[in-house]
Amino acid sequence: MVSAAREKLWTKDFTFGTAVNFLLMVNYYGLMVVVADYAMKTYDAPAATAGLAASIFIIGALIARLVSGRIMDRVGRKRLLVIGALFEVVFSALYLVGVGFWLLFALRLLHGIAYGMCSTTIGTIVTALVPDSRKGEGVGYYMLSVTLGAAIGPFLGMFLTQNAGFHVLFIVTAVVAGLCLLAAAQLRVPEVPVPRAEVDEKANEIAEAERTEQAGGFRVPRPRVANYLETSVVPISAVCALLFFCYSSLLAFLTPFAAESGLETTASFFFVVYAIATFVTRPFTGKLFDRKGDRVVMIPAFIAFIVGMGLLATVYRPAAMLIAAALLGFGVGTVQASGLALAVRIAPDDRLSLANSTFYILLDIGVGVGPLALGIVQPLWGYRGLFEAMSFVAIVALAAYLFVSRKRGKMRRELEAAEKQ
């Protein structure tokens, strides 16, 4: 028997799955950073409306995440991934057509649905491929594909539009989507066995329906939350979403803050340092997560984010801004990867797809609501006051994590005690 420490992680399918997610992120971020500028320059759209053309993508992703977990268990993970990747190619190519301003909204919404379908499904597939004993390490490596995509995508988007134009960028992102489809087609996805309890539950539902029909009555089906969300992972997902609400302040307001502070040149390197910090720390945090548990890595990550955001609120020198970027990169990257690893450990194996979609739904809500809510208060607080406030909100997120982690630890001890009896 192969020991837990030597279980193979970098299989062919794990590598292809990670590549699919990387290409998906390059496509997403490459377009996200320029679509508002594209709407303003091509269609003379006002800034507020152009910004909505960018953010409506998240609404589409949320719609897809809400239903993807349930759909993939019915049609199959591989099939849903390939369908989503095919739509990624189609919608990416449609940017080349020049659909018109209002149709651009529809295209962004549909593209968001395809993205949400793919990202939820590939996350489920890859986390299922990772051995349980190396879940933290494996998910950590997988999430590096997000970090790398978030670094290369914006660079490609800004560089190509500044030097070659929007048309060339749209060609490149369509090609990236095509490569994503090819990589998805190469994946071998193991069959997910249907638990006996689920079979019995389905049999009972059929029997009840037959009895109702025989009685001449009818039953109006009521939607159940459990059909769309994995409730066991909602607490840890909500904690991570609160931190991502804070993180959204960087995505929305770092550029104008840097311009106001005379740090534009330094700000262009901010996310490069952010990504490097994530890359350097991710392998170590993943292994620590597997060996020592989630608290050993999550608590330092929350503290790093709190300090980094507080430092950003006070920076006037380039070096301090880049130190803040490193702290924030370690904090956000570790909380996202470890939070997902914790979620898939908590959830039952037969509800892994719903666990992934639930985690990302709440993260998307945090990132999506943040700019809108913070944009309302920013004129009152200023950028520095806003970042300082986000540091305090992150303290609340840390307190919430400690409460959730303590509660989960108590439940685990009770289960272990029951098994010994």
Lowest mean pLDDT among 186-195, 221-230, 274-283, 407-416: 407-416
Distance CA 51, CA 347 (A): 36
Residue 227's pLDDT band, with cuts at 50, 70 and 90, is low
State the chain's mean pLDDT as an integer.
Answer: 80
Domain ranges of the chain: 9-189, 229-421
Buried b (16+ CB within 10 A) or exposed e, 190-229: eebeeeeeeeeeeeeeeeeeeeeeeeeeeeeeeeeeeebb
Identify the CATH number of the domain defined by range 229-421: 1.20.1250.20
The yes-or-no answer to whether 9-189 and 229-421 have a common fold is yes
Nearest 5°: CA angle at 225, between 220 and 230? 145
Of residues 275 and 117, more confidently modeled:
117
The pLDDT of residue 262: 87
Distance CA 270, CA 312 (A): 11
Residue 222's φ and ψ, nearest 5 degrees, are -110, 130
Distance CA 312, CA 274 (A): 13
The pLDDT of residue 333: 86
Residue 209's pLDDT band, with cuts at 50, 70 and 90, is very low
Model confidence pLDDT, tens digit, residues 277-290:
888 887 788 788 88
User: Whole-model pTM?
Assistant: 0.69
CATH among 1.20.1250.20, 3.10.129.10, 1.10.3720.10, 3.40.190.10 for 9-189: 1.20.1250.20
